[in-house]
Chains A and B, each alone.
Chain A
Amino acid sequence: MEGDIVQMGAYIGAGLACTGMGGAALGVGHVAGNFLSGALRNPSAAAGQTATLFIGIAFAEALGIFSFLVALLLMFAV
């Protein structure tokens, strides 16, 4: 019985960890959207900044990946 409750808590926690995905989605969308609005204002400068765009996206989505990792840990390691 007690083990069941721990298991249940772990599964609920894994599900809740998926809300982190929404945060990562907001972050990546924010980065890409701002890049696009900046790029449309000054298209000639856009090509040189794609590396910065990808770095920004990578930083934003890494945190979403962390929440995925927490979900995995709860599912398989707890």
Chain B
Amino acid sequence: MATETHGADQGGLVFHPMDQFIVKPLFGDGPVGLFTLTNVTLWMALTVLAIFALLVLGTSGRATIPSRVQSVAELVYDFIRKMVEDVAGKDALVFFPYIMTLFLFILFANFLGLLPMAFTTTSHIAVTAVMAVMVFLTVTIVGFVKHGFGFLGLFWVSSAPLALRPVLALIEVISYFVRPVSHSIRLAGNMMAGHAVVKVFAAFAPMILISTGIGLVVTPLSILAISTIYALEVLVAFIQAYVFTILTCVYLKDALHPSH
């Protein structure tokens, strides 16, 4: 009886929700060095190829009446351009190519990661941290180059009472340096958490094979759960790319107009 309901005893119900994030070499199984081709390399290359296909091949016709692919590319372009203009101001449009690149890379990496058996490159903090630190450095350097030491006025909240300002300055400085941390962990954590949840339900799904009694209830429920969580993940994949880019715009606005 006990062995029938507890599939784990027969090696049936096994949970490995985090195994999908392991970085493996593509060929052979030697150690992963600096120049080893891994699954991360593969999926990053596919991400870049997909963006290339959309933006370069899709718009190569330059039709006045755009084809479907071309209108998608134009839609994305307009969407990001309007976002940069609205959030960070007109003078931030110099950074538009950078922000567009960030958005497209994150969006396509998130979406490609949703394919079954795919590897989500943005679920690794190593990947997102590079992008977040680059944004942080860009914002800091641009701030100092544009305003000199006036950029430090960002930390001095002149609208607050004088006695409160040193305390607020301390908090502002801390929150400024936490930005790259939260910026990168937000994206990586969201991707990792969502994929791990899908995988946990996926481990429940084959229960009908190992136990007929409880499996009849659990298997349909978990397949339903996978489908709904997956739909949610498609939404999250877009929203996180959007949030990453819009926060980049907000930080850029701080650098370009640091008045409080």
B42 interfacial contact with A, CB 8 Å: no
**CB <8 Å contact, A58 and B83:** no
With A62-B182, A76-B18 known as contacts, the answer to whether A55 contacts B243 (CB < 8 A) is yes
B19 to chain A, nearest CB (A): 12
A45-78 residues with Cβ-Cβ distance < 8 A to B are: 51, 54-55, 57-58, 61-62, 65-66, 68-69, 72, 76
A67 to chain B, nearest CB (A): 10
B189 interfacial contact with A, CB 8 Å: yes
Instruction: Give the total of B residues in contact with A, Cβ under 8 Å.
Output: 17
B57 interfacial contact with A, CB 8 Å: no
**CB <8 Å contact, A55 and B182:** no
**CB <8 Å contact, A51 and B87:** yes
**CB <8 Å contact, B193 and A68:** yes
| A72→B192 CA distance, assembly (Å) | 10
A49 to chain B, nearest CB (A): 11
Interface size class of A (residues with CB under 8 A): 10 to 19
A11 to chain B, nearest CB (A): 14
B190 interfacial contact with A, CB 8 Å: yes
Chain A residues near B246 (CB-CB < 8 A): 51, 54-55
Which of B87, B185, B242, B247 contacts A66, CB < 8 Å?
A: B185
Chain B residues near A62 (CB-CB < 8 A): 182, 185-186, 189
Nearest to B86 among chain A residues (CB) is A51
**CB <8 Å contact, A69 and B18:** no
7 tightest A-B CB contacts, nearest first? A65-B189, A58-B243, A62-B186, A62-B182, A68-B193, A68-B189, A54-B243
Binding site for B on A (CB under 8 A): 51, 54-55, 57-58, 61-62, 65-66, 68-69, 72, 76
Contacts A66-B182, A72-B192 supplied; 17 other A-B pairs, CB < 8 Å: A51-B86, A54-B246, A55-B243, A55-B247, A55-B250, A57-B243, A58-B186, A58-B247, A61-B186, A61-B190, A62-B182, A62-B185, A62-B186, A62-B189, A65-B185, A66-B185, A66-B189
28 examples of A-B residue contacts, CB within 8 angstroms: A51-B83, A51-B86, A51-B87, A51-B246, A54-B239, A54-B246, A55-B243, A55-B246, A55-B247, A55-B250, A58-B243, A58-B247, A61-B186, A61-B190, A62-B182, A62-B186, A65-B185, A65-B186, A65-B189, A65-B190, A65-B193, A66-B182, A66-B185, A66-B189, A68-B192, A68-B193, A69-B185, A72-B18
